[in-house]
Chain A
Amino acid sequence: MIELRDVHKSFGAQKVLDGVSFLVPEGQSLVIMGPSGSGKSVMLKHLIGLLRPDRGEVLVDGHSVPDLSAGELSELRREMGYLFQHSALINWLNVFENMALPLRETTALDKATVDARVDKVLHLVGLEGAEKKFPSEISGGMQKRVGLARALVTEPRILLYDEPEAGLDPEMSAKINRVIRNLNTELGITSVTVTHSIACALAVGDQLAVFDRGRMIYADEPRRVLDCDNERVQEFLGVKMD
């Protein structure tokens, strides 16, 4: 379970999060949309302890994330996966080594188990045959899938996605959205997805929240967003044009 209670965050004079609150029950998927600079990615970084709120509470599985010690935060992060907007693959490791890295570094699994887990996730994201390639040798879309695979390989209970479909073609976007949705429905993974894509929101979300200037201005089931009467939400989705 993930919960934010009245979270505020500023960088200097710029207010990025202005009293954000929401709750994501276990096994549910929350999608967050909003214009660039509305605080979506900053909120995501609070959930995994990369940023601390100026005020308010960030709770993951009942733990107050900002109050955890380094060791406790490390333990909690092992239960979580994070897909970065620009993949953030280690550039001198090949695809296989990138995916195996969290298993080799944070678990005591033997080589055969690590290899099996990596192979399984490689198949899931359609990257068979790319194991030996380095990040600089594959496309942005493939890098994104390796990033997703790396987030999945530790079999986390919570997944955070920062624009999972960015840089992917429509066919691959749909495939990745299906993978994300299946992780929720079949494995009961709790997830928060930041996206600009309404298709992604409709495909993977149980709940949809729209951020604007650090505030949550809309929250409901994704399919209802197209009919909502909030002008700012309509403007963002391109439904209402001036």
Chain B
Amino acid sequence: MNPVTRIGARVIRPALDQAGYGLWLAGRTLMLLGHVPRRARALLDYMHAAGVRTAPVVVFVGFFMGMIVALQVGLELSRYGQQESIGILVAVTMAREMGPFVTSIILAASVASSMAAELGTMKVQEEITALEVMSVDVGSYLVLPRVLGLTLMAPILTLMADAVGILGGGVIAVTQLQLDFQNYLYNVREALSRVGDLVPVPSDLYAGLLKSLVFGFAIAVTGCAAGLRAKGGARGVGETTRAAVRTSVILIIVLNFFMGKLLHH
């Protein structure tokens, strides 16, 4: 087997195979949305697992992201005497980009990995097979609550990251750039009050929240798809978990680029 064929057989074919399965699972999950009422309890459980348990990390990281953006950009602006506009830059950067991006990376590392590990363990211990044998719809019973739970929680967490990030930026504006906090908040409000043409809500905010909704869905589907195809015992589950995080992060970055182009240009 020549090297090109070998790469195709070992890397490209499994990657395409997994991508195809992920797309199929995404479509199937959307078709199962009618099952939401009977999965309400599980949905709340996964919203809690994905949201409430991740919220402290999102708040902590979001606050520091806001401070980092304000510090780096603010110092440059102050060279030209433009530090007054730091509120606008922090607000737009957090709402459009950093809020959804940072939140999604945290969700990929924590929730996608746990979904892949949980379902992967069930798969290698034949629990998934047992559900199939009992005619239990695995998509409805296991996948739908996880995917929908994370998809709904991602924008809420992003909103929290945006808010604390802007607050962190305010701390830097006051302590490092010697700006007035009320003035900073005024600029933030100005920046976020631009209403979009298509949807009558603040455009930067809704673009970021829409991104996070899509990222949340992609992360959850990736985690579930990886777990449901795990094989080979504990080592296989470990590899599945790694692959879920890796694929989620790549997906977030690629989707972020294309959605950014679509929403802001």
Contact = CB atoms under 8 A, between A and B. Distances in A.
Interface of A: 48, 50, 74-75, 77-78, 80, 82, 84, 86, 88-91, 101-102, 105-106, 150, 154
Contacts of B137: 105
B127 interface: yes
Most B Cβ at <10 Å: residue of A80, A84, A90, A101: A90
B134 A84 contact: no
A77 B121 CA distance: 24
A86 B125 contact: yes
Given A91-B121, A91-B122, A91-B127, 6 more contacts: A78-B135, A84-B130, A86-B125, A88-B125, A88-B127, A101-B134
A135 B238 CA distance: 23
B129 A50 contact: yes
B126 interface: yes
Contact of B127 (A74, A82, A89): A89
A153 B265 CA distance: 59
A75 B135 CA distance: 8
A141 B122 CA distance: 20
B60 interface: no
A102 B134 contact: yes
Interface residues of B, number: 15
B132 interface: yes
Nearest to A105: B136
B186 interface: no
Contact of B132 (A50, A75, A89, A90): A50
B135 A84 contact: no
B136 A82 contact: no
Nearest to B134: A102
A105 B132 CA distance: 11
Contacts of B133: 48, 50, 77, 80, 82
Contacts of B125: 86, 88, 91
A191 to B, nearest CB: 15
A89 B131 CA distance: 9
B24 interface: no
Nearest to A92: B118
B41 to A, nearest CB: 12
A90 B134 CA distance: 12
Interface in B95-138: 121-122, 125-127, 129-137
Interface in B160-182: none
B136 to A, nearest CB: 4
- Shortest 10 CB-CB contacts between residues of A and residues of B: A88-B130, A88-B126, A102-B134, A74-B135, A105-B136, A82-B133, A77-B135, A106-B135, A88-B127, A78-B135
